[in-house]
């Protein structure tokens, strides 16, 4: 059995949006250094591409926070699996997340980071599922609002697979045994902010 992948947001559209976000972040942090906190594992692809498009000085650290494990829906239980390596005291912190759905992970994480006395904390997310929101989270920089579908690619995975796809897609089992099949979805699949 193989998987059928449908393209929700093509690579060219993702790239254009990340460039736009990088320009806005560079403008907002003019004269400052921004400290990116990449949320592993999914955020790493987005964080790297975003960092390349930010023109102010950038430092980078990583956290791994999980509420999914190997499921397609959040368990609701948040665990810090890897903490920061460095202090964020007096830093201009920008959390970089691949996707926000229920909001529970960031609702838990942001107060934890605020206790470490950064100069500021803002949030940048590539994807947002507003229909899944259970707790409100302020997103300062957003790529795309998407419908309530399970998505893969650009760092997002299904059971640790498909992170390396250069686009955002959806997945469904394919019983033809033909391997991974990609197909473009006609029309606008997402709302762009």
State pTM to two decimals.
Answer: 0.84
Separation CA 125–CA 122 (nearest Å) = 10
pLDDT at 65: 84
Residues 6+ apart with CB under 8 A from 26: 53, 54, 55, 56
pLDDT at 11: 96
Catalytic (active-site) positions: 101
Mutual angle of helices 11-28 and 43-52, in 10-degree steps? 60
pLDDT, tens digit, 9 for 90 and up, residues 140-173: 999 999 999 999 999 999 888 899 999 999 988 6
Which domains does the chain possess?
Answer: 11-148 (3.40.50.2020)
CA 152 to the chain's CA centroid: 11
pLDDT at 16: 98
pLDDT at 190: 39
Residues 6+ apart with CB under 8 A from 129: 99, 100, 101, 145, 146, 147, 148
pLDDT at 2: 66
pLDDT at 115: 95
Separation CA 152–CA 133 (nearest Å) = 19
Residue 25's alpha-carbon distances to 36, 79, 168, in angstroms, are: 11, 29, 22
Residues of the chain with pLDDT under 70: 1-2, 67-76, 173-193
């Amino acid at each position: 059995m193989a998987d059928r992948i449908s393209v929700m947001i093509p690579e060219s559209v993702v790239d254009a949006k990340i460039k736009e976000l990088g320009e806005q972040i560079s403008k907002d942090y003019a004269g400052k250094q921004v400290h990116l906190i990449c949320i592993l594992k999914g955020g790493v692809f987005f964080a790297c591409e975003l960092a390349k498009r930010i023109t102010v000085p950038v430092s980078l650290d990583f956290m791994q926070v999980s509420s999914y494990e190997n499921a397609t829906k959040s368990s609701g239980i948040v665990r810090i699996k890897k903490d920061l390596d460095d202090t964020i005291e007096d830093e201009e912190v920008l959390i970089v997340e691949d996707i926000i759905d229920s909001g529970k992970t960031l609702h838990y994480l942001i107060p934890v980071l605020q206790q470490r006395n950064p100069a500021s904390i803002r949030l940048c997310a590539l994807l947002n599922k507003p229909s899944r929101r259970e707790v409100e989270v302020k997103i300062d920089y957003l790529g795309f609002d998407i419908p309530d579908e399970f998505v893969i690619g650009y760092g997002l995975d299904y059971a640790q697979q498909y992170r390396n796809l250069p686009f955002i897609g959806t997945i469904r089992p394919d019983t033809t045994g033909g391997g991974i099949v990609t197909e473009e979805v006609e029309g606008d699949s997402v709302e762009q902010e």
